[in-house]
Amino acid sequence: MLVGSYIELLRRNASFRNLWFARVVSNLGDWFNLLASAALITQLTGAGTAISLLFLARFVPLFVMSPFGGVLADRFDRRKILIATDLLRAVTVLGFLLIDRPERIGLLYVLTILQFVFSAVYMPAHQAYVPAVVDRKDLVAANALDSFTWSTMLALGALLGGLATAFLGVQAAFSLDALSFLVSAWFVGRIAISGSVKAAAGRHALVRNGLLEVVDGMRFLWARPAMLAIALAKAGGALIWGSINVLEIPLAENIFPFNGNGSLTLGLIYAGVGIGTGFGPLLLRARLGDHHSVMYKAITIGFMALTLGILGLAVAPSLGWVLAATVTRGLGTGSIWVFSTVLLQVASPDSFRGRVFAFEFAALTLTQSISTLWAGFAYDSLGMSLPQIFFILAIASSGALLVWALFARSRNGRPAVVGD
């Protein structure tokens, strides 16, 4: 019955179906790109700090540009924004094919930054566009399916990307990623709903007024503490999982290489993340339902699972244990992501929705960048072992769990509606 509800949503809503297909192919290519980039850096440098720089090159543009991406999403046709950014990312990714020796490693970072500048414009537009193509009663199902799709493509893309990188080379992975953006743009182009925001039209001085609108968006959230807290939920989780993104690479390459191949282990780890983030929100939705009052509880459960998963990584004696802990912490991150997204989509007016999600995404990438940089530094320069770092992260995750649990209790099931 639960599976049938998602199939029915895709069957009867052609616009959402095309948006979903776009996510399928784009997410599949993304994981090919990440695994290929990580493998290439490992081959050319072998340093933990260099891996941290890769993640910073992915996160910092999201933090800097997301607020402006939110302004664009609130002023222009969101469907056209999605198509344009897909095409620009396809061209950018093709540039990765030029990186073939150590002295060109700087080009990888430059192209990664450029790719994620476009992603910073894409993400708020996508999150704000979903309510335009989906009825309000279907928002939880649509976001749960979106998360499941991301996770499934993570599991499949990570596994296939690891195989492709190990046996076909990084060039094939980068080429497939570029192709995925082109296919994604084609699917979005088939959507009939424009996604324009008429209330923002006709403004002048794009840059100057854009800055003012960024400030307006921040004021909007500041005046609504409950919405602000929800918008910071992902940032609290990212302060933890940003470090894990870095540490999984030496964990795979140096401690648990599968048949001596770290790329295959990394693919298995990402597959475990995909299983957890995909099925976690689906199971919680089946158990708790769609009402806004239970979403606070679902996020609390998410922080609990994240903490338990990190503790599992700290004491893992084998690859199987690592994968089980990874699935557990993936269940947590997926639940935090889906249910905080739905709460914001329901609470935000359309004219501010792009900026609300842009702020959320900027906060997320800021904490993720800090966490990523710290993990690389701790691993390279502080003489700490991976288990020690994971224990520290588990303590930090416990703190985030406590803060959210206290906030959720104070809400007592009340929605974070506009004017709250």
Q: State the chain's mean pLDDT as an integer.
A: 80
Mean pLDDT for 386-405 is 91
CB 355 within 8 A of CB 220: yes
Is the pLDDT at 130 greater than 80, yes or no? Answer: yes
Is the pLDDT at 199 greater than 50, yes or no? Answer: no
Is the pLDDT at 149 greater than 70, yes or no? Answer: yes
Rounded Cα distance between 376 and 47, Å, is 9
pLDDT tens per residue, range 330-372? 899 888 988 888 888 777 777 777 778 777 877 887 888 788 7
Rounded Cα distance between 104 and 179, Å, is 23
- DSSP for 134-172, written as a single string: S-GGGHHHHHHHHHHHHHHHHHHHHHHHHHHHHHT-HHH
> What DSSP state is assigned to residue 194?
-
pLDDT tens per residue, range 83-117? 999 999 999 989 988 887 777 788 888 999 998 88
Mean pLDDT for 46-70 is 74
Percentage, residues of the chain above pLDDT 70: 86
Rounded Cα distance between 76 and 213, Å, is 14
Q: Which fold has domain 2-192+209-411?
A: Growth Hormone; Chain: A; (1.20.1250)
Give the start-to-end residue ranges of the domains of the chain: 2-192+209-411
> What DSSP state is assigned to residue 95?
G
Amino acid residing at 103: E
Is the pLDDT at 2 greater than 60, yes or no? Answer: no
More reliable by pLDDT, 184 or 139: 184
pTM reported for the whole predicted model: 0.69
Is the pLDDT at 409 greater than 90, yes or no? Answer: no
Confidence of residue 13 (pLDDT cuts 50, 70, 90): confident
If we measure between CA atoms, which residue out of 76, 163, 204 comes closest to residue 128?
76
Residue 66 confidence (pLDDT): 74
Amino acid residing at 237: G
